[in-house]
Amino acid sequence: MELTFLGTSAGRPLPGRNVSSTALRLPPACGAYWLFDCGEGTQQQIMRTPVKLSKLERIFITHLHGDHTFGLPGLLSSRAFAGGTSPVWVYGPPGIRKWIEMTLEITETRLEYELHLVEIEREGTVYEDGHVRISAAELVHRTVCYGYRIEEKASFGKLDVSKLEAYGVPSGPLAGRLKSGEDVTLPDGRIIRSADVVGPPSAGRVITILSDTSPCDNAVMLAKHADVLVHEATFEAGLESKALEYGHCTTVQAAETARKAGAKRLLLTHFSTRYRDERLQLLAEEAKAVFPAAFAAYDLLEVHIPKTK
C-alpha cells in the first residue's frame, strides 16, 4: 500500500503546491487506486505520478468545499479518455450526488463507464470487501465533513512448501486448508497443524485520513493505532483561536490527536498559503515536539506503508 500526496495546500493552490487530494495504491490483490478528495488540478498532478486514472476505482470526498472537490468533474471526464471503462464509485456527504449529476448534465459530459454516487447518511462502514474495510465518522468543521479509516484485513502467513513435502502433504485442497489456518488429517491418520507449515500472519495495515477538522473525539477514534495518520495542520502553534474559528487545527493539535490515538506515523498536510515551502519543516518541528514521528507532507510525496508481522 502506498500513499501519494497530490495536493497539500489549504484553500487555494500555490506554485508547486496544489489543493487537497491524496491517492492510495491498494495491494496487488486489489490492483486499484482510491482517491481521497479531488481539488482543482488533481488530474494534472496525477500525470506527474505513477497513478493511473484507468485503475481508479473509488473516490472518497471528505466535504464539499471547493478546494476538495472542484477537480472532480474534470477528472471523471478525463478518465474515459485515459482508457477507463470499469465502474467508479464516488462517496461523500449529502449533496455530492446533486452537484455531480447537475454538473455533468449542464456540461453535456457523457461518461463511457458506470458512475455510482453514494451519499453517506450515517457514520460507520461505507465499504467492505474481502481485503479492506473503510469507515467514516463526522469531524468538526464549518460544513458536514467526514474522516476516513482504511483497515486492511489480516492476511495468512506464507506456506512453507519444503515442510509440506517433508510431511507428505500433497498440493491441492489440503494445502489450501492449511494455508487458511485449518489443521488437517491426512489419509494415513496423521494430523498436520497449520502453525507447523505456515509462517506468521501479517497484520492488516490501518490508514486514517482526516481532512478539515477542529480537534474532536471522532478524530482520535478514527486514528486509533493507525500505521499512518494523515491530518490537516492548517495553522502553526499559537493560532488555536484562529484555527477554531475556521474549523481547522494547528500543528500541535494534530500531533496531540496522533499521540492520543497511539498512531505510528503522522503526516501533516493542508497547510495555509501563508506558509511557503521553506517554513514547512518548522511546522513539522512543532508537531515533533509532541509526537516525534511527525512529518510535513509535500506534493508528489510517495509514502510506502509496509506490512508488519
Q: Which residues are annotated as a binding site for Zn(2+)?
A: 63, 65, 67-68, 141, 212, 270
Asked if residues 280 and 298 have their Cβ atoms less than 8 Å apart, the reply is yes
Nearest CA-CA partner of 69 in 85, 91, 52, 87: 91
Residues annotated in the binding site, as ranges? 63, 65, 67-68, 141, 212, 270
Query: Cα-atom radius of gyration of the chain, to the nearest Å?
Result: 22
What phi and psi values does residue 14 have, to the nearest 5 degrees?
-125, 160
Which residue, chain included where needed, has cell 506554485?
15
Three-class secondary structure of residue 58 per DSSP = strand
The DSSP letter of residue 29 is T
Paired residues of 199 in beta bridges: none
Paired residues of 115 in beta bridges: 88
- Among residues 67, 129, 188, 217, the one annotated as catalytic is 67
Identity at 273, one-letter amino acid code: T
Asked if residues 9 and 269 have their Cβ atoms less than 8 Å apart, the reply is no
- The cell numbers describing 1, all together, are 500500500
Identity at 165, one-letter amino acid code: E
How many beta carbons lie within 10 A of that of residue 208, not counting itself? 28
Q: Residue 299 catalytic?
A: no
Question: Which residues are the active-site residues?
Answer: 67
